[in-house]
Structure 1
Amino acid sequence: MSTVPAEEEILRRVLDRWKTSVDAHAPADVASLFIEDAIFQGLHRYSVGRPGIAEYYDSQPLGMVAEYKILETRRLTDTLVLGYMQAEFSFPDRPTVSVYLSLLLRLVGGDWWIGHYQVSKLP
Structure 2
Amino acid sequence: MGKYGGMSVQFEGLDKLFRSFNVSKTKARNETFKAVERTVKKAQSNSKSLAAVDTGYMRDHINTQPTESHGDVITGSYESLASYSGYQEYGTRKMAAHPFMRPGTKQAESFFYQELRRLLSV
Structure in which a larger fraction of residues adopt strand: 1
Structure in which a larger fraction of residues adopt helix: 2
Q: Does TM, scored on the shorter chain, surpass 0.5?
A: no
Highest CA radius of gyration, 1 or 2?
A: 2
- TM-score (normalizing by structure 1): 0.31
- TM-score (normalizing by structure 2): 0.32
Ranked by relative contact order (alpha carbons within 8 Å, sequence separation 6 or more), the top structure is: 2
